[in-house]
Amino acid sequence: MYFIGVDLGTSAVKLLLMDEEGKIVNIVSREYPLYFPHPGWSEQKPEDWWEQSKEGIRELVKDVDKSQVAGISFGGQMHGLVILDENDNVIRPAILWNDGRTAKQTDYLNTVIGKEKLSEYTANIAFAGFTAPKILWVKENEPDNFEKICKIMLPKDYLAYRLSGAFVSDYSDASGMLLMDVKNKCWSKEMAEICGISLEMLPELHESFDAVGTLKPEVAAELGLPETCKVVAGAGDNAAAAVGTGTVGDGMCNVSLGTSGTVFISSNKFGVDSHNALHAFAHADGHYHLMGCMLSAASCNKWWMDEIIRTKEYTKEQENITKLGENNVFFLPYLMGERSPHNNPDARGTFIGLTMDTTREDMTQAVLEGVAFAIRDSFEVAKSLGIQIERTKICGGGAKSPLWRRMIANVLNIKVDRIESEEGPALGGAMLAAVACGVFSSVEEAAEKIVRVTETIEPEPELVEKYERQYRKFAKIYPTVKDLFTELLQ
């Protein structure tokens, strides 16, 4: 049997084909446009996801026995607002996770409704990227579109709907909408009322490893796959990446250096950070997790390389960076605003400490270190909760950089485990499909049998000490310039 994992990302959809032994047979990627209609806004067309996913699936399975494709599941970009009318037409482009337009609505939820109420209803407070503030934004700014809403769904769930006709979501992804009672794993009636929507507009909820349907006959024919192929609920990209890296079970950790950056801590028990600086979400393994999310991680390096110094030689640019822990240049990686722990959509990217002898390497190093320091911000919150983390898995495009991995190990002062496959959400999706098809009895068993650690980066005491001093400097910058960001946007 074969299983397809679909990683519906922000820049591309990555499709992975896995056999029942956990071996990756093929990987295909298809890009689609990202639109920025106004500064701080971020949108995509769901139809683009669908068309590129179909093309990618056809290429993915062209050299295998298609009749043996037993299941398909997902790891998808979280929080995006996809709205359909009564005829299942997409009403407007999807408003994405890194969109910052909802400052007013987020402030309303956190101050008028109140953070305590939100935490009581959903275990979380409002962040600009979450789905509920986006629904309020559409209600206030596009009332005609709001009146047309019949179905509200998340990005990956749109693919599941097109594939199977099942209007569903999973607990992990739905946790990030600010519409779900995470502790009790059900929709919050109170939040639906606050947003002015009915519960009927929201999808049926499932565990990530639940089969929710099979391929529609016409879709199966178009893709060349059997109608018996199961469509499995899947997970938000971070939960799916955690599955793909073996971050399941109590007390496990994963750092993701993708477009966004995350610290993901799995737990068998439900728990909430009292300051709500970390998200309290359901996990794809059937339990829970805490997560810190920064909006720009590897995308900071991509921006610096592609747009500023205009090179694709990412590895070459890092070759001459040798003075770790000694850089006088610092970078705040808030190119799209920031979520954890600052919750400030007005925050912006900032270089500080430049002098006449600052080099290109210094600034490249500052970008990489800035992301590592921002990830540590979330680690500090976890420490304040009494959570002690001694090691972490690492995944995402940024994890391919040996230099960045070394920085992470020493900035966080923990062991960093690199795994055999760095495919994260796509592999996690395929593993969830295999669990749904009965190849593995649980997500934990799938992780135990498939995920292999190939390298461990140990923290270096002398470098840890240097980075401790550097982090303390970094931590002072944001509070110092915080009020200026709002002024700059006025």
Q: Which residues are catalytic?
A: 237
Token pair 């939100």 is at which residue?
118
Q: Distance between CA 132 and CA 147 in Å, rounded?
A: 16
Confirm or deny that 78 is annotated as ligand binding. Answer: yes
Q: What is the three-state SS of the chain?
A: CEEEEEEECCCEEEEEEEECCCCEEEEEEEECCCECCCCCCCEECHHHHHHHHHHHHHHHCCCCCHHHEEEEEEEECCCCEEEECCCCCECCCEECCCCCCCHHHHHHHHHHHHHHHHHHHHCCCCCCCCHHHHHHHHHHHCHHHHHHCCEEECHHHHHHHHHHCCCEEEHHHHHHHCCEECCCCEECHHHHHHHCCCHHHCCEEECCCCEEEECCHHHHHHHCCCCCCEEECCEEHHHHHHHHCCCCCCCCEEEEECCCEEEEEEECCCCCCCCCCCEEEECCCCCEEEEEEECCCHHHHHHHHHHHCCCCCHHHHHCCCCCCCCCCCEEECCECEECCCCCECCCCCEEECCCCCCCHHHHHHHHHHHHHHHHHHHHHHHHHCCCCCCEEEEECHHHHCHHHHHHHHHHHCCEEEEECCCCCHHHHHHHHHHHHCCCCCCHHHHHHHHCCEEEEECCCHHHHHHHHHHHHHHHHHHHHHHHHHHHHCC
Q: In 3D, which of 286, 279, 208 has the Cα closest to residue 249?
A: 286
Cα–Cα distance list, 284 to 71, 86, 233, 238, 409 (Å): 17, 30, 10, 9, 26
Contact 300, 333 (CB under 8 A): yes
Rounded to the nearest angstrom, the gap between the alpha carbon of residue 58 and the centroid of all alpha carbons in its chain is 26
Indicate the pairing of strand 69-76 with strand 2-8: parallel
For the chain, what is the largest distance between any 2 Cα atoms, rounded to a whole number of angstroms? 66
Q: Distance between CA 207 and CA 428 in Å, rounded?
A: 14
Annotated binding site, which residues?
A: 78-79
Residue list for the binding site for substrate: 78-79
